[in-house]
């Protein structure tokens, strides 16, 4: 049995948020039964794996009914040996949680809930397309506490019309609840999203001020800043996501899921019908696969490892392959070298995508230019905790 991180994608949502470019859709709950059957069929095509972590993401997994959630967890138990799972995370939106669903998660071995809040401002929640109010989040948070689950809270900054003081209020309200984990992401407007089509713009200077505030406030509250966008109380860092950042192996099931196994990265069909048809016919629903080697493989390891605040050990062959890129980043003050390790500098935290672009082919990206959207970029481009899925 090969030990891997297991990611399962649930593409159902109550509606599309303005910023979302993940593979998800609303009004398709009637297709859940067929989709779960396809998940089990795909799992049968992937024998020989033992999950060390399980992450069920979306979409919104808790859009499934309580019985469907129980069925999904049962599929995992039937398909894989699960006794060795060290961490089991399920993503949820506040409006889709209920005591019945949380009881299913607790009984099914879930240890961690990733709860999407984004902001405590009810006006902003409506503006960005969320279906909950802050009161709904608070209710869900305390229900999760009663179910004895660790809670990770998602916050966003740089939202349309958001002020520094408004963001401070959201951040302080969340820190006062003392969740075990906090993920904080800046708004990133992609073309093929509601915000992209609307022409929403971003204030980079304000966004930087907001993120600097997060770093100060979270540290003062006792959180360990262990990855660019992620903060945890000591001992509650995400085990599953660290598999991605350490360039480990993971298996992805479901529409748009990505796997990285034996040096090969593959991505599943993003369309619900295409995915289900292939999996239920006993065929792997893979639409793209690539195997990196040489400089590309070394660059991937550096790009992912530099997301961690502790950085990454620099192999001799990587130093030889990226001599010029490393020298340039050191000269610009975006990375630091400490013995055999390199890590982002305090300034480099705010230019992580610039740093990453130095290590992903094509390697000669002009300053201010945008590299072509290659398959390896497609699988790795989201610089948050989402390597097990791809964007729409």
Q: What is the pLDDT of residue 378?
A: 28
Q: Which fold has domain 2-244?
A: TIM Barrel (3.20.20)
Render each residue's pLDDT in the chain as its tens digit; 392 residues: 999 999 999 999 876 665 555 555 555 667 999 999 999 999 999 999 999 999 999 889 999 999 999 999 999 999 999 999 999 999 999 999 999 999 999 999 999 999 999 999 999 998 888 888 999 999 999 999 999 999 999 999 999 999 999 999 999 999 999 999 999 998 876 676 666 777 776 788 999 999 999 999 999 999 999 999 999 999 999 999 999 999 999 999 999 999 999 999 999 999 999 999 999 999 999 999 999 899 999 999 999 999 999 999 999 999 999 999 999 999 999 999 999 999 999 999 999 999 999 998 766 443 333 333 232 332 333 333 344 554 33
Rounded CA-CA distance 95/88 in Å is 21
Torsional sign, CA 254, 13, 167, 197: positive
pLDDT at site 361: 78
| Spatial distance between the Cα atoms of 244 and 248, rounded to a whole number of angstroms | 6
Token output for 114: 């990733």
CA distance 265 to 242: 17
Least Cα distance to 348 among 328, 365, 329, 367 occurs for: 329
* Half-sphere exposure for 292 (CA within 13 Å, toward CB): 22
- 92 Cβ contact partners less than 8 Å away, ≥ 6 residues apart: 60, 61, 62, 113, 114, 115, 116, 140
Domains of the chain: which residue ranges? 2-244, 294-371
For residue 30, the model assigns a pLDDT of 74
What does the pLDDT read at residue 43? 98
How many CB atoms within 10 Å of residue 208? 15
Cα dihedral across residues 145, 150, 154, 155: positive or negative: positive
pLDDT of residue 390: 42
**How far is 21 from 66, CA to CA, in rounded Å?**
26
Q: How far, in Å, are 43, 75, 83 from residue 78 at the CA level?
A: 9, 5, 12
- pLDDT at residue 187 in the model: 83
- The pLDDT assigned to 10 comes to 95
CA distance 147 to 141: 10
Nearest CA to 122 out of 131, 112, 113, 111 is that of: 131
Which residues is 179 bridged to in the sheet?
Answer: none
Structure tokens at 265: 């990265």
Report residue 162 as tokens.
């958001």
The model carries a pTM of 0.89
Residue 202 confidence (pLDDT)? 78
Contact 5/388 with Cβ under 8 angstroms? yes
pLDDT of residue 29: 62
3-class state of residue 170 by DSSP: helix
Question: Is 294-371 a domain of CATH 1.10.10?
Answer: yes
């Amino acid at each position: 049995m090969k030990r891997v991180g297991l990611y399962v994608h649930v593409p159902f949502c109550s509606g599309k948020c303005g910023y979302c470019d993940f593979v998800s859709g609303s009004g398709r709950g009637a297709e859940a039964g067929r989709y779960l059957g396809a998940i089990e069929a795909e799992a049968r095509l992937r024998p020989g794996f033992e999950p060390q972590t399980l992450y069920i993401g979306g979409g919104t997994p808790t859009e499934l009914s309580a019985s469907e959630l129980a069925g999904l967890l049962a599929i995992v138990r039937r398909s894989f040996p699960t006794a060795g799972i060290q961490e089991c995370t399920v993503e949820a939106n506040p409006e889709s949680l209920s005591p019945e669903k949380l009881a299913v998660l607790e009984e099914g071995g879930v240890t961690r809930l990733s709860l999407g809040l984004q902001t405590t401002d009810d006006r902003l929640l409506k503006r960005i397309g969320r279906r909950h109010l802050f009161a709904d989040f608070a209710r869900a948070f305390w229900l999760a506490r009663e179910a004895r689950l660790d809670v990770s809270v998602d916050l966003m900054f740089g939202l349309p019309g958001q002020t520094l003081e408004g963001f401070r209020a959201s951040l302080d309200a969340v820190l006062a609840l003392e969740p075990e984990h906090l993920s904080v992401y800046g708004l990133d407007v992609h073309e093929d999203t509601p915000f992209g089509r609307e022409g929403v713009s971003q204030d980079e200077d304000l966004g930087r001020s907001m993120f600097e505030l997060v770093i100060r406030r979270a540290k003062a509250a006792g959180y360990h800043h262990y990855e660019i966008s992620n903060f945890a109380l000591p001992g509650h860092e995400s085990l599953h996501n660290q598999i991605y950042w350490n360039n480990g192996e993971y298996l992805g099931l479901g529409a748009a899921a990505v796997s990285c196994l034996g040096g090969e990265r593959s991505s599943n069909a993003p369309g619900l019908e295409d995915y289900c048809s292939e999996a239920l016919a006993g065929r792997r629903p893979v639409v793209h696969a690539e195997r990196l080697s040489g400089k590309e493989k070394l660059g991937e390891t550096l790009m992912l490892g530099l997301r961690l605040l502790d950085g990454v050990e620099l192999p001799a062959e990587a130093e030889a392959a990226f001599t010029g890129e490393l020298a340039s980043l050191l000269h610009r003050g975006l990375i630091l070298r400490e013995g055999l390790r390199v890590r982002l500098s305090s300034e480099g935290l705010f230019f992580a995508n610039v740093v990453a672009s130095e290590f992903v082919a094509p390697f000669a990206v002009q300053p201010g230019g945008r590299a072509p959207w290659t398959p390896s970029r497609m699988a790795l481009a989201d610089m948050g905790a989402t390597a097990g899925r791809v964007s729409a």
